[in-house]
Amino acid sequence: MRTIRRTMVASALALPLMIGAAGIASADSFGSTEVQAGPDGAATHSVQSETHRGSSSFHENSAAAGPDGAAHDSTSATAGKNGDSQYQQHSGWAGQDGAGSSETHSSTDGGHDQGVLSGTLGAIGL
Contact yes or no for 44/16 (Cβ under 8 A): yes
What pLDDT score does 81 carry? Answer: 86
Rounded to whole angstroms, what are the CA distances from 45 to 14, 26, 60, 69, 87? 12, 20, 7, 17, 19
What pLDDT score does 7 carry? Answer: 47
Q: Delimit the domains of the chain by residue range.
A: 57-62+70-93
Give the three-state DSSP class for 58.
strand
What pLDDT score does 26 carry? Answer: 47
Would you write out the chain's pLDDT as a tens digit for each of its 126 residues? 455 555 454 555 555 555 555 545 445 899 999 999 999 999 999 999 999 888 999 999 999 999 999 999 999 999 998 888 999 999 999 999 999 999 999 998 866 555 555 555 566 665
What pLDDT score does 1 carry? Answer: 46
Nearest to 76 by CA among 62, 92, 88, 63: 88
